[in-house]
Amino acid sequence: MSQAQPARPWWKDAVFYQIYPRSFQDSNGDGIGDIPGIIARLDEIAALGVTALWLSPLYRSPDADNGYDISDYCDIDPRYGSLDDFDQLVAGARQRGIRIVMDLVINHTSDEHPWFQASRRREQPYADYYIWRPGKTRRDEPVARRREGTGQVDPPNNWTSFFMGSAWQWDDQRGEFYLHLFDRKQPDLNYDNPEVSAEIERVLRFWLDRGVAGFRCDVISLLSKASFADGRKGPIRGLEHYKSQPGTHEILRRLRRDVLDQYGAFTVGETVMVTLDEARDLSDPGRGELDLVLYFDHLEVDRLVSRYGPKPFRADELLRRLTGWQQGLDWNAVYLENHDQPRIVSHYGDDKQFWARSACLMTVLLLTLRGTCFIYQGQEIGMTDFDFKSLDQLDDVESHRVNDLLKFLPYDVRWWLIRTASRDNARTPMQWDATPNAGFTTGQPWLGVNSNFRWLNYARQDHDPRSVLNFYRRMVRLRAASPTLSQGGFEPVYADRDVMVYRRTPAAGTSDPAFSQRRWGDDPPNPPRSLRSPDQGQGRWDDPAYTVWLNFSGRTQKLAQPWLATAMVLTDTPTSTGVHPPICVASNTGRRRLDGVLLPWEAVVIREAHAEPWKAGS
């Protein structure tokens, strides 16, 4: 008797949709998106083919960092609705086969959280919930004042915040400095105190008992601070003392063992400046920490040290980085946009002349990589970066901090750097239709709406078969129907400055009938005609390999031999020679065959390609 196959985790086949609630849909005219607004759009979300929602923070918050500064982990901020509204959202999503994943921010809280207020007063048991340290008396103070402890003090060390400036803030009430790796209103929790972990475990259970399927964990690789020595010189001083430390791994294993595994909960962690080896440790299934990690490397091909230091984009560098992660991790979290990144069609694409075609190219890239896909709201219609004219129109605290730091530069230079990299590029309201404020709100939106909403909106694309939105829907269906695309391997094939090519290879055990039964049950979907062998009927296929060809330029690219010839395949109706030009299973130009050239910003997916693996430098 053969052994039963182990169950495949649901999240490996999921397509996630990230919602930034304040910008998604407002239901009451106050200019801020809310939970009833999300409920009202569940059918639109389901129509995309997604099977899970990641919700950015909905908790009570004073909003120093748009909800990532939490003042109550176990309540919904009234601006977004109520716990009853949240329960209705979970139920409505479940009816449509969609799971809910909450954003979890446990490196820090708001300075208005009751824990921090009690800690400032040294009240037990909260006195050591945060990282407090006395300062260093300044060397230029008179000797007598230094001896008496009455002189002015410097921070405990030279660490700097991710939001610029010192990572320490003096508190008069406590008479000490507290650590904040981000905004000064986001004090870091102290995980050396076991009571902090116990509090977080109670938070996890609270939401899991309400039906959430798991958590996206914000800056999760920074929890443990191993040392408080001065940091090395660099953009972020002190990073070596708290990034991916052994203590963080222990915290994650404990949360997994004591809470998450009891619910079968999913976790994906945002990781800061993580290396491949560090990411592998965090997400190795055998270590029992995170299921997936969100890294940034593939979005920094055109950056020097941060989003605010641009350099030219190269497709070969993108493929090199993607290959490292695709082949280096057991399973990837695949994304191109989120609430912290510019819109991908403006970042790596052409949001002017070739807007639609380059948006669809990014669709092909996202949905043909190995891993679990994450789509950010508005990405499915090709939303672009904002068209604001001045810094005054921005809300993002990071953007304003960067402006302060770069005051030595002319304003026009500062504005150009901020305009292209600001987090507000992804946070403008969702563009639903061509009515005022893009159908997002009947009131004054909390952040300006991009003026291109009059032609770039969901309603205009919904019934247009050639739209970006419907191309997304088709690609989601293609991925779901293909064992190779949803489970197979990844091989680089070719890359140069503008063109990159990679191959998805069949996964072991996915071409036999038992695979279809395990994946789809008794009612499998009908595969596209291009996925069926000539002798196969409805509902059966022998999934081949695929090669993905992407032209990241506005120029037609002539494809060189011999690697074009190796992509030739047998068609369903062969000629006397038996060979046709490659069949395009998916194309953003509508072409059925690849004929030796790639059009500007063209993306094609080729069935049964046989290409030699690409080697760096070839």
DSSP at 489: E
Q: Which of 34, 85, 111, 218 is catalytic?
A: 218
Cα separation, 571 vs 568, in Å, equals 9
Task: Round to whole Å and give the CA distance between 182 and 16.
Answer: 27
Give the CA diameter of the chain: 99
Helix (H, G, I), strand (E, B) or coil at 493: strand
> What 3-state DSSP class applies to 298?
helix
For the question of residue 608 being annotated catalytic, the response is: no
| Bond prior to 125 in cis (omega within 30° of 0) | yes
What number of other Cβ atoms are within 10 A of residue 94's Cβ?
13
Question: Which single residue is written with the structure tokens 């196969």?
Answer: 536
Q: Letter for the amino acid at 404?
A: D
Mark 384-418 as b/e (b = at least 16 C-beta within 10 Å). bbbebeebeebbbbbbbbbbeebeeeeeeebbebb
Chain centroid offset of residue 117 CA:
32
Look up residue 433 and give its two tokens. 């239709």
Contact between residue 369 and residue 490 where contact means Cβ atoms under 8 Å apart: yes
Q: Which long-range contacts (CB under 8 A, 24 or more apart) does 242-245 make?
A: 242/181, 243/272, 243/273, 243/274, 243/278, 244/271, 244/274, 244/278, 244/281, 244/282
Interatomic CA distance for residues 105 and 112, integer angstroms: 15
CA distance 107 to 91: 30
Rounded to 5 degrees, what angle do the CA atoms 393, 395, 396 make? Answer: 125
CA distances, 576 to each of 570, 580, 602 (Å): 11, 10, 30
User: What's the residue count for the chain?
Assistant: 618
Phi and psi, residue 553, nearest 5°: -155, 165
One of 270, 291, 380, 396 is an active-site residue; which one?
A: 270
Q: Is 148 a catalytic residue?
A: no
Give the integer Cα–Cα distance in Å for 400 and 66: 14
Q: Which of 276, 268, 271 is nearest to 326 (CA)?
A: 276
**333-335 sheet: strands from edge to edge:** 292-294, 266-270, 214-217, 99-104, 52-55, 15-19, 372-376, 333-335
437: left (phi over 0), alpha (psi -120 to 50) or beta: left
CA–CA gap between residue 614 and residue 618 (Å, rounded): 7
Kindly list the catalytic residues: 218, 270
